[in-house]
């Protein structure tokens, strides 16, 4: 189903499937808007702390352990914002098996799937089961940010329900955007997108080692998207700050660099972490590294 961006798809999925008081299990850290879609449907987003050992993703064991009487399902993202990490396909299968055994729902935000850099993580959750709800968008891989065009793949029974809600909430996705998006599938366009994906990977391969050399802790190498989830605590003392919130402000004031403090994405140990974005030119990333080298030396 074509939607007015991935945000509309997430809203429609939550409204269709969540009743007041239903709990949805999510990883901590995770993209903040996703939990707000759950709240908007009068559900409860239950954030479960994750660690580098789980690639900052939920595991089947965690899902089973935290499943309660009010639990309706899981909302995952693979690759994830802010960590850039994906769920191992075998683990995702186990997660879905647990959810299915409980009669629950599995929603997977796959908006960054086209920007996967490792073959092991490059396949849609739909390869596991066609009753998984997959959310995607033209904004990232297809470079159509701002066109507000996405899609969702849902079980057949959900189609008329989602159609009725979309008609009342959005009427339809932008007609102009839909016509423009058809050009994305030409061989010439795909070649451009693949070249850009290679450039995103090159930026990651430069920037992550550079962060490590500066003293940041990188617990897991991101396998997709364009983010770096970095532990800034080794460098806080050099800026005279106590946590990532103050660190982000200090970096902005002293080096004119904008990063995102970890608390935007959850509460589980996020005071240690900041999120960098590599959705910028290699030259700008190199300049950012030079500024931080000067600041931390």
Residues 128-156 have a mean pLDDT of: 96
Structural domains in the chain, sorted by start: 2-185 (3.40.640.10), 188-296 (3.90.1150.10)
CA-to-CA distance for 86 and 224, rounded, in angstroms? 7
pLDDT digits (tens, 9 = 90+) for 40-60: 999 999 999 999 999 999 999
pLDDT of residue 128: 96
The rounded mean pLDDT for the chain is 97
pTM, rounded to two decimals: 0.95
Q: Report in angstroms the alpha-carbon separations of 135 from 25, 131, 286.
A: 17, 13, 33
CA-to-CA distance for 220 and 64, rounded, in angstroms? 24
Sign of CA dihedral 33, 36, 40, 42: positive
pLDDT of residue 216: 98
pLDDT at 297 > cutoff 90: no
Residues 186-195 have a mean pLDDT of: 97
CA-to-CA distance for 136 and 150, rounded, in angstroms? 6
pLDDT at 242 > cutoff 90: yes
pLDDT at 167 > cutoff 90: yes
Q: Which residue reads 């499943």 in tokens?
A: 67
């Amino acid at each position: 189903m074509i939607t007015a961006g991935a945000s509309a798809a997430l809203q429609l999925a939550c409204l269709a499937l969540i009743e007041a008081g239903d709990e949805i299990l999510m990883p901590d850290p995770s993209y903040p808007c996703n939990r707000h879609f759950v709240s908007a449907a009068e559900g409860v987003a239950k954030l479960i702390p994750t660690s580098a050992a789980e690639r900052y993703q939920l595991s089947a064991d965690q899902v089973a352990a935290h499943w309660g009487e009010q639990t309706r399902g899981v909302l995952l993202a693979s690759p994830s914002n802010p960590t850039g990490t994906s769920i191992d396909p075998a683990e995702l299968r186990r997660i879905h098996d647990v959810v299915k055994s409980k009669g629950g729902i599995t929603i997977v935000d796959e908006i960054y799937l086209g920007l996967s850099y490792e073959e092991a993580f490059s396949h849609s959750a739909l390869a596991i089961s066609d009753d998984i709800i997959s959310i995607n968008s033209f904004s990232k891989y297809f470079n159509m940010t701002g066109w507000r065009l996405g899609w969702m793949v849902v079980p057949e029974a959900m189609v008329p329900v989602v159609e009725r809600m979309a008609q009342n909430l959005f009427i339809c996705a932008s007609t102009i955007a839909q016509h423009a998006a058809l050009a994305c599938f030409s061989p010439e366009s795909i070649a451009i997108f693949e070249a850009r994906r290679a450039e995103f990977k090159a930026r990651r391969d430069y920037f992550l080692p550079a962060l490590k050399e500066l003293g940041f802790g990188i617990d897991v190498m991101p396998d997709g998207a364009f983010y770096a989830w970095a532990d800034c605590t080794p460098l806080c003392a050099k800026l005279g700050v106590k946590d990532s919130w103050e660190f982000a402000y200090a970096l902005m004031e002293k080096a004119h660099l904008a990063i995102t403090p970890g608390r935007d994405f959850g509460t589980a140990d996020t005071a240690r972490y900041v999120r960098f974005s590599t959705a910028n030119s290699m030259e700008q990333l190199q300049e950012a590294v030079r500024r931080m080298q000067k600041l931390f030396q």
